[in-house]
Structure formats: structure tokens, C-alpha cells
Amino acid sequence: MSYPNPPAHRAPGPRHTGRYVAGGLAVAVLAMGGVGAYVAQKTYFRPATFTMNDTFAGYERVELSQSPDLERYVATWAAAAAEDDKPTVSGMYRLSRGDTAFLVHLAARPGFVGSPAERVNEGFDGWRATMTFTESIESRDGKRSPFLLCATGKEGKAIVVPAVFCAYADNGGYLVGVFDKIDLSTAVVAFQEIRDSIEDVS
């Protein structure tokens, strides 16, 4: 009596469940680690304080009517910012020191900034919609992940004296300044001096 051959036995294929679970856990851990680092950073860095008195370090507050263009440029930055990220303090100032005389319109907002370089470049994107920028200087020196960018810009094709646009951000807030009748390198030094005079990060 003959019997049919039993069906061939197939070895079970490889199981990847453990690998997928491990991979998913790794991604989750990384994501949680990133969120945790952000929260820790936000908790560690206190918001800066920006104080714009009527006078400071040789600067004297003037009426905004002294330069409608500078006022408009800073308003462009503010308009492009999210509702909860608009400047909270601002003012226009004149400096007369020896042979140096210029106007600067300042605006600032205290508060945690997770990516200072990204915040500064987002602000410049608002300006780039109507401005043409040529030379620029940037700096990342200092603590609290600082980023500073200043650039010479001109609106349209009009023959006008270029303004210098500066923005600075660190983990405690940001500061914007637009200068009139000043060269780029002088504006960078002046902007850093202004920042050190009005920003308190203690």
C-alpha cells in the first residue's frame, strides 16, 4: 500500500517585528530627546530685558518723523513677524560723536528664541521682498547661541543713500536696527555697542 508524500515543510521566514519595534523606539527616544533638550534650553535661558531710555551711550531719542524711511523699514520687519513675535519696544535715536552722525531706528522683543540664526534670516526675508542687499557681515560670537547679521540694502532702483539693516538674536530675545547715512563696518560696531548698552541678560 502506498502513501502520498507529505507536503514539504517550509521553514518560517525571518521575523522583523523586534527590529521594527526597536527602530520605532529609537526614533521615539530621539524625538523625545530633542523635545527635552528644547524644553531644557527654554527653561535655562531667561528672557533678556531691552531698555530704551531717552538717552544712552551718547544716543538721544528723536521723533519718528526724523526718518519716515527708517520707520517704514522697521515696520516691515514687524509686519512679517508672527502675532506673538512682534517687537515690544522701539525707538529712533541720533548719535553725534565727533565726525560721526547718523540715525538708527531700533526695535526689540525679549523672549526665548530657539534658533537665533533662523529668526534673523526670517526677518531679513521680509526685507528682501522689496530691498536689494549687497555686502553683509555676520557674527556668531558670544554665549546664548547669538547670531548677528548686518547688510547694506537699497530699495528699488532709486538713487538713494543705502541704509544698513542689522538684526541680532540670542536665546533671550532679538534686536533690530536700521541705520541711515552710515557705512556697513561702522554700523556693525555701533549695533554691537547698542546691544551691549540696552540688553540685560542677567
**pLDDT tens track, the chain, 202 positions:** 444 444 444 444 445 444 444 444 343 333 444 444 444 444 456 788 999 999 999 999 999 999 999 999 999 999 988 888 999 999 999 998 887 889 999 999 999 999 999 999 999 999 998 888 989 999 998 777 799 999 999 887 655 667 999 999 999 999 999 999 899 999 999 999 999 999 997 7
Alpha helices by DSSP H, listed for the chain, are 17-44, 68-80, 116-128, 184-198
Closest alpha carbon to 175 in 154, 199, 200: 199
For residues 71, 75, 76 and 81, what is the CA-based torsion angle, rounded to 10 degrees?
150
- Report pLDDT for 157: 62
CATH topology of domain 49-200: Protein Transport Mog1p; Chain A (3.40.1000)
pTM attached to this predicted model: 0.77
- Report pLDDT for 202: 73
- CB-count exposure of residue 19 (10 Å: 0-12, 13-18, 19+): exposed
Q: What contacts 24+ positions apart, CB below 8 Å, involve 77-81? A: 77/107, 77/123, 77/126, 77/127, 77/167, 77/176, 78/107, 79/126, 80/122, 80/123, 80/125, 80/126, 81/123, 81/126
**Alpha-carbon span 51 to 56, nearest angstrom:** 10
- Report pLDDT for 81: 87
- Report pLDDT for 160: 63
DSSP state of 52: -
C-alpha cell at 13: 521566514
All structural domains of the chain with their residue ranges:
12-44, 49-200
Inter-CA distances, 70 with 64, 143, 187, 198, Å: 8, 30, 14, 20
Contact indicator for 104, 178 with CB cutoff of 8 Å: yes
**Alpha-carbon span 92 to 70, nearest angstrom:** 8
